[in-house]
Amino acid sequence: MTRGRFITFEGGEGAGKSTQARLLVEQLQARGISVVLTREPGGSEGAEALRNLLVIGDADRWTPTAETLLMYAGRSDHLTRLIRPALAAGTWVVCDRFSDSTRAYQGAGGGVSSDFIDAIEAEVVGADRPDLTLIFDMPVELGLERAFGRDMFEARFESKGLAFHERLREAFLHIAKADPGRCALIDAGGTLDEVAEQVWSTVASRLELTP
Ligand SMILES: Nc1ncnc2c1ncn2[C@@H]1O[C@H](COP(=O)(O)OP(=O)(O)OP(=O)(O)O)[C@@H](O)[C@H]1O
Ligand SMILES: [Mg+2]
């Protein structure tokens, strides 16, 4: 059995990750590829329960360290119950946010040290890193405008202020630059079709899909 491929979508609020992850899954399915769409925080029953603790409430509900531990508690469950079994069965996994969001939000945004995150990452994720990570980049104001136009319920992180979101953007750009073999930058400021085109051509070339 050929192992499935693991693709993650990363980047700031309202950049179009969830929209494009759905479109990519449809494209892959149309090619006969077995694929599951999932998300973080969440993705398994236990991790979805933790998600509600993380995304609802006041911006300062958790310390960044507590947030990091909750994120990795959920990630561990998600990997064990959904991601690893799917990949082993040959199913592709498309995940809407993953470890890079922890590095950006709790690390660069919240001040949690990269040594601490590296240590938990090694234990929880280990060798099961994504084969490809698409990092959606766009001006912070545009992303927040899109996100606020959408919903105000899961708005805990959206409510953290412009400077916080600028730090996130820098952090995601830094991650893309530091790990070019895994990451590809997507210019997310275009129309839905333009971004979908970039996503598809990047997936096809990086993962060597035949046209
Ligand atoms: N290319 C685009 N042009 C204009 N609007 C878009 C585009 N892509 C997505 N949108 C809209 O912007 C809003 C945010 O998109 P989406 O929810 O996909 O972003 P996201 O990156 O998943 O956000 P979050 O980080 O908050 O989960 C939605 O209302 C969506 O319909
Ligand atoms: Mg989303």
Residue 67 CB-density burial (10 A; 0-12 exposed, 13-18 middle, 19+ buried): buried
The atom number, within ligand 1, closest to the CA of 195 reads 1
For residue range 10-37, what is the model confidence (pLDDT) as tens digits?
Answer: 999 999 999 999 999 999 999 999 999 9
Regions of the chain short of the pLDDT cut 70 = 151-156, 158, 211
Question: Ligand 2 centroid to 81 CA: how many Å?
Answer: 22
Domain ranges (residues) in the chain: 6-206
Q: Are strands 92-96 and 183-187 parallel, antiparallel or unpaired?
A: unpaired
Ligand 1 contact, 106 CB (< 6 A):
no
Ligand 1 contact, 156 CB (< 6 A):
no
The atom number, within ligand 1, closest to the CA of 189 reads 1
The sign of the torsion formed by the CA atoms of 75, 77, 82, 87 equals: positive
Q: Is 6-206 a CATH 3.30.70.20 domain?
A: no
Question: Ligand 1 centroid to 158 CA: how many Å?
Answer: 13
For residue range 68-85, what is the model confidence (pLDDT) as tens digits?
Answer: 999 999 999 999 999 999
- How far apart are the C-alpha atoms of 103 and 161, rounded to whole Å? 18
Residues with Cβ within 8 Å of residue 130, at least 6 apart in sequence = 6, 7, 8, 95, 98, 182
The atom number, within ligand 1, closest to the CA of 12 reads 25
Q: What's residue 152's pLDDT?
A: 58
Question: Ligand 1 centroid to 141 CA: how many Å?
Answer: 13
Question: Ligand 2 centroid to 1 CA: how many Å?
Answer: 32
